[in-house]
Structure 1
Amino acid sequence: MPSSLIGVLQRHLSDTDSTCPEPEPSQLACLADVLGRLPDPRRVRGRRYRLGSLLALCLVAVLGGATSLAAIARFATDTAPTCANNSD
């Protein structure tokens, strides 16, 4: 039995209804705000990166086709770091 959350989510996706009502723009939250509000269960000593940033990276990797933790790690190492405040 695979322990990957990706496989579990794929199985649950097949049971869901993909139609949803159109939200009002004022009801939409910024993804960074939502991920930033999640409680971080890790010990303080082991934290190097913020949880919201890690989850966003994992989300982008999975949307890009990553199907395992190793693939997510490869995506993370292959992605060039950029600064959001870069004015170039």
Structure 2
Amino acid sequence: MRAAAVTDWRPALAPAILRRHDHARDADLLLLPERVVVLRGAAGTVVGLCDGTRSVDDIVDELAERFPGSPVATDVPPFLERLRKEGWLR
């Protein structure tokens, strides 16, 4: 069972943050004021689901369907929480 605060949260990018795909690197990026963050592996997919309409549970469920057998239920919520603490998600 997941914590209620995490379950109810519907993450979305903070207003000053943009997500873009860099074709030269074939990687997703977060464009922050005066900084660029390269999202490696499935991080771009996870962040792409953070549109403010899906709860963390919804994101985990969708990723579990896309990546069967991957530890999304244990890895994704702490990843999203780290991004929130950085101020990149609201």
Fold similarity call, TM over 0.5: no
Higher relative contact order, structure no. (Cα contacts within 8 Å, ≥ 6 residues apart): 2
Q: Which has the higher helix share?
A: 1
Question: TM-score, normalized by length of structure 1?
Answer: 0.32
- Larger of the two Rg values belongs to structure: 1
More strand by share: 2
TM-score by length of 2: 0.32
